[in-house]
Structure 1
Amino acid sequence: MTPHPQNQSCPQGQSYPQRQSYPQRDVFLVTNSVNELGGVTSWSHQMARLFTGRGHRVHVIGITTPVVAQELGDLPYPTTTLYDGQPPRPGRARDASMREQAARLTALFRSARPGGVVIVAQVWAMEWVGLADTTGLTVIGMSHEAFETCRKSSRFRRVLRHYRDVDRMLALTREDADLWIGRGLNNASFMPNPLPFMPEVPSPRTEKAVVSVGRLSDEKGVDMLLDAWAEVTTRHPDWTLRIYGSGEDEEILRKQCTALGLDDSVAWMGRTDDVPGALRAGSVFVQSSRGEGFPLVLLEAMATAVPCAAFDCAPGVREIIRDGEDGLLATPGNTGELARKLNLLMADKQLRDRMGETARANIQRYTTDEIVRRWEELFAFLDR
């Protein structure tokens, strides 16, 4: 790993060298699992495809095999999973197995051409990468969640420990990067997620439907969304809340829905493989999460020209939504305020149309070309 600068403007992502073209590199993307369900997996394969499309040689590496896996189809790059299942429990067997698997990583890394890069998307995976020989490679560690969310979890101390000496530690926003720097990670910078898609045909915003997309879990706050909807639906009995997703809280959420008398105005849509279609069929998008990183579904909704109402639960949310311009933000956990924001959008078609079209224009700052360019500029800077 190369030394990182301590006091330069580059860690804030504003002064990397401008180049017309960049060398093709070997890029290793290391995550907890190659094919588990979740946003980090989606991000890793999106970036792998983007890097491959730019001529880089990509290898996606996972530590474990998930209990519930997603089908990835044919991939234009190789993947490797270190464990057929889970690693041993902590102890001597675990330590021995980690050294053995780290040796496999070392063998893979040694195949890299000069200028190779290892991007570790989750800090747990860094425990294996840290045991491998990364001599001659640039190592970048990432946190795909807000600083405050991480601070409340066991991952916080791991980030401070395992990312302290990498060439660059990347958060999702400038605000989060500054917070990590305040905790002593002077190598911290930020890199937003790229826009997953830019649909040619936006939503016409004609259906009286509010859309929610996300896992039915405590973090996503669907229970709070139902409480907010109970206030909204009395004013708009002809509107429907469509909830897309599945998860461990589905049964209790359905019971809450019934207890609130919302069964006639809430549609449980289940998981969908057609997020663009789900968003296009709505006129408003709502996100009620207790915590987020840099939520892709907000990017997707705005790209589809659907105005969003969301809890301002993380820097990534207020980085994406410009409150009052292309969407509306509510105080985290304040269901009454979220209900009022939804009511504003549902009651005023001109407001919906104006914010939806503005959102579609503003969100292009996260296009894939722009984000890949920023990655390649970072690679070039860290070569110096």
Structure 2
Amino acid sequence: MKITFLLYNAYGIGGTIRATANLATALAGRHEVEIVSYYRTADRPSLPFGPGVTLRSLVDLRRGSRQYDGDDPAQARLGTVCRHDHPYKSATPPSALGEARLAEYLRRTDADVVVATRPYLVCFLAEHGRADHLRIGQEHVTHDFHNPGLRRDQDAALGRLDAFVTVSHGDERAYREALPDVATRLTHIPNCCPAPETEPSSGDTRTVVAAGRLVPVKRYDRLIGAFAKVAAEHPDWTLRIYGRGREKEKLRRRVRELGLHDHVFLMDPHSPIDTEWAKGAIAAVSSSTESFGMTIVEAMRLGVPVVSTDCDYGPREIITHGEDGLLVPVGGPDAAVEEGIADALCRLIENDAERLRMAGAAIRSTRRFLPEHMAAQYEALIDDLRPGTAAPSRSRPRSAAPARTPRQRAGAIAERLGVATLLGKGLPPVPVGCRVAPDGSLYFRVPTADLPRGDWQLLLKPRAGTEDTEVRLPFEVTGSTGPEVELLLHRSGRPMAEGYWNVHLRHGRDKGRVRRAPAGLVETGRLLAPTVPPHPSGAGFATAVPYRTQDGNLSLRTWSRAGHAELEFLAVGEEAVTLTGTLHGDVTRGHHYRLTARPRGGEAAFEARCRVDEAGCFTAEIPLAEAARHASGRSTWDLRLEPYDEQGEAVRIARLRGDIVDRRRTDAFPVARHATADGVVELRPCLTAGHDLALKAVTVAPALEPAV
């Protein structure tokens, strides 16, 4: 059987694309599966499609590509089908060119089953699909979520389909009630989620994780409001929200208004997201509606219990309240819903045993969403509609698939990882994974199937500006070597120099060719543990954070400091900016400190009082009047703790703990203002590229209104 899935843009990131990729990959084990993307906007998909899935596009919008269709006059004319669907408001609306090519595809395809994944495509399939192939529509949101015009268009189209599939039983009921006389088969099949490759959550990170598009329906403003109460009662817990969208600046303002800059962090989207779910002890969903809740399943299968609003329809069909997560009633005022979310989060924060029990139950309960189960349900639906159609394809059974050469296998890996070029002549890209151990050591995983036999080295080469020698981890590939080798970089001895390191592979000894290593699975959740073991050398702080670069390669960001002052909280008051944190390292013991503000390369502009208790916790206050008095137009000061005696060394205040490579994108501090005779001075705390704390002073017009 050949199955075709119609996607609007298979090269983007979104729940529909992810759900389709999972289902298509599962079906490709028994059938011929093709993804047809209306538009192509990138060289490679952002989300991977598995082996056996063929991807083709109809209209190429990649500027500079030989197939570029953006200059075709028909591309400038809007399409005519389902004009109320949201793509018409996007930067790439449906076009006359796209409709002509999709209609032509449907006329000529040899597919046995065509599945449309959004209302525009559902309507198009109803109008142009042929009777000799099964026409199946999918609903990835809900019937009631659509605007009236879109709902009217899609409802009218359903009668010309063979089946229409929702992702929840509740939405199936809603369609049945809205369309009592439709002859089309209405049913529901949940989205599927493959078993994770990522190590499950340890459950002890004191981190709440949320992920999704930053759009109004997700109600992250409500989650941030709820976390104000959580942070007040549990100041050592933080909230991370992963995603992009038009609500980002609004959410930043909400964080600032509630003074949660040290507790709530807006993270960039991350792919794969599994490694980020595994960093959470709890996951949170605050949506006003959820057709299914892919993020809920993704978190639960990694042992992260979910606190979710009990919105229509998905959460209550995934979470069993009190067993593998908690549901919060909705329907009342926002303040009541925020209170409910906060209480549920605090319940799990305060009860470790219950949280860990739910974590185990969550892993067990989400096994029902494995792709093979959902693929079987689609096969059963197809066989009900047209008996015999869903039999496994004789032309392409997986066991009879042609063997691929090492270069072809590596090319497929590179395609999924988005790696643009081969790593040197004669050797395909070999993605290297990295996992941080509980003690901060690094385990590198090197797949060996496509490596020639012989001696190899994994090289950590310092970039320019990182003053150190390369680190070599040797290994050997023989006929008995398993599918991968695991190499340990132990966190002992001399710490690696602070800076950036690129990961390479070398075949042979010192004269062998050196090639950059693409990033495989990178797991850094252990860096969020509540306590970090001190480095054996006695250094104040020493760590290595593996990460994937923008071009898809594996690198490390390292920090190494004999003495360190970790900034934990920064508060802006009417009279002062208050800094609190902890001192680390043998060199910081036995000293009394003062805080100094120094322009780079200059003498101290001013100093302020600093108190250090017996446990090494410091509190420093920067008087606004004193800082404003030393401001001259535009100034930038580095902040450090300097001992009163001449025996000790100055210690930079920084925020180094954790897994974040560039905190300038996530940590946004409030601005302090102080009026002087020359104008209003704004004092802007910020982090440098090295995560050191700095203070920028800018004199502005006296009439400037305070920022919201």
Q: TM-score, normalised by structure 2?
A: 0.47
Partner of 2:397: none
The question of whether the paired residues in 2 share the 8 Å contact of 1:167 and 1:382 is answered with yes
User: What SS class does the counterpart of residue 32 from structure 1 fall into?
Assistant: strand
The question of whether the paired residues in 2 share the 8 Å contact of 1:121 and 1:144 is answered with yes
Q: d(CA) in 2 for partners of 1:211 and 1:344? A: 16
Partner of 2:255: 257
Distance 1:153 1:45, change over 3 A: farther
The question of whether the paired residues in 1 share the 8 Å contact of 2:13 and 2:46 is answered with no
1:33 offset after TM fit, Å? 2.0
Q: d(CA) in 2 for partners of 1:242 and 1:365? A: 28
Partner of 2:118: 122
User: What SS class does the counterpart of residue 253 from structure 1 fall into?
Assistant: helix
- Superposition pairs of residues 71-86 of structure 1, within 5 angstroms: 71-72=46-47, 76-85=52-61
The question of whether the paired residues in 1 share the 8 Å contact of 2:239 and 2:265 is answered with yes
Q: How large is the RMSD of aligned CA atoms in angstroms?
A: 2.5
Distance 1:91 1:371, change over 3 A: closer
Indicate which of 132, 140, 154 corresponds to 2:136: 140
Indicate which of 31, 35, 54 corresponds to 1:60: 35
Partner of 2:164: 169
User: What SS class does the counterpart of residue 310 from structure 1 fall into?
Assistant: strand
Q: Give the stretch that moved more between structures: 272-281 or 344-353.
A: 272-281
Deviations, residues 226-245 of structure 1 (Å, cap 9, x unaligned): 11101111110111111212
User: What SS class does the counterpart of residue 124 from structure 1 fall into?
Assistant: helix
1:335 offset after TM fit, Å? 1.0
Partner of 1:50: 26
Q: From the two aligned structures, give the one with the greater helix fraction.
A: 1
- Equivalent AA in structure 1 for residue 218 of structure 2: K
Partner of 2:245: 247
The question of whether the paired residues in 1 share the 8 Å contact of 2:25 and 2:49 is answered with no
Distance 1:191 1:239, change over 3 A: same
Q: Max radius of gyration: which structure?
A: 2
User: What SS class does the counterpart of residue 320 from structure 2 fall into?
Assistant: coil
| Fraction of identical pairs, as percent | 26
Q: d(CA) in 2 for partners of 1:91 and 1:378? A: 31
Is 1:322 the counterpart of 2:342? The answer is no
1:51 offset after TM fit, Å? 1.3
Q: Give the stretch that moved more between structures: 189-198 or 233-242.
A: 189-198
- Equivalent AA in structure 2 for residue 356 of structure 1: A
The question of whether the paired residues in 2 share the 8 Å contact of 1:29 and 1:59 is answered with yes
Q: d(CA) in 1 for partners of 2:328 and 2:346? A: 12
Distance 1:320 1:263, change over 3 A: same
Distance 1:33 1:382, change over 3 A: same
1:156 offset after TM fit, Å? 1.3
Deviations, residues 259-301 of structure 1 (Å, cap 9, x unaligned): 1000011223211123222111210000111222211110011
Q: Give the stretch that moved more between structures: 332-341 or 130-139.
A: 130-139
Q: d(CA) in 2 for partners of 1:207 and 1:180? A: 42
User: What SS class does the counterpart of residue 59 from structure 1 fall into?
Assistant: strand
Q: d(CA) in 1 for partners of 2:153 and 2:170? A: 20
Q: d(CA) in 2 for partners of 1:356 and 1:96? A: 50
The question of whether the paired residues in 2 share the 8 Å contact of 1:98 and 1:128 is answered with no
- Equivalent AA in structure 2 for residue 141 of structure 1: G
Partner of 1:369: 372
- Superposition pairs of residues 297-316 of structure 1, within 5 angstroms: 297-316=295-314
The question of whether the paired residues in 2 share the 8 Å contact of 1:178 and 1:188 is answered with no
Structure 2: runs of 5 or more not aligned: 62-74, 82-93, 388-708
Partner of 1:88: 77
User: What SS class does the counterpart of residue 195 from structure 1 fall into?
Assistant: coil
User: What SS class does the counterpart of residue 53 from structure 2 fall into?
Assistant: coil
Deviations, residues 28-80 of structure 1 (Å, cap 9, x unaligned): 101222222211111222222111122x1111112234599853568643323
User: What SS class does the counterpart of residue 28 from structure 2 fall into?
Assistant: helix
Is 1:104 the counterpart of 2:104? The answer is yes
- Equivalent AA in structure 2 for residue 134 of structure 1: R
Distance 1:228 1:90, change over 3 A: same
The question of whether the paired residues in 1 share the 8 Å contact of 2:204 and 2:281 is answered with yes
- Between the two proteins, the alignment pairs up a number of residues equal to 353
1:126 offset after TM fit, Å? 2.5
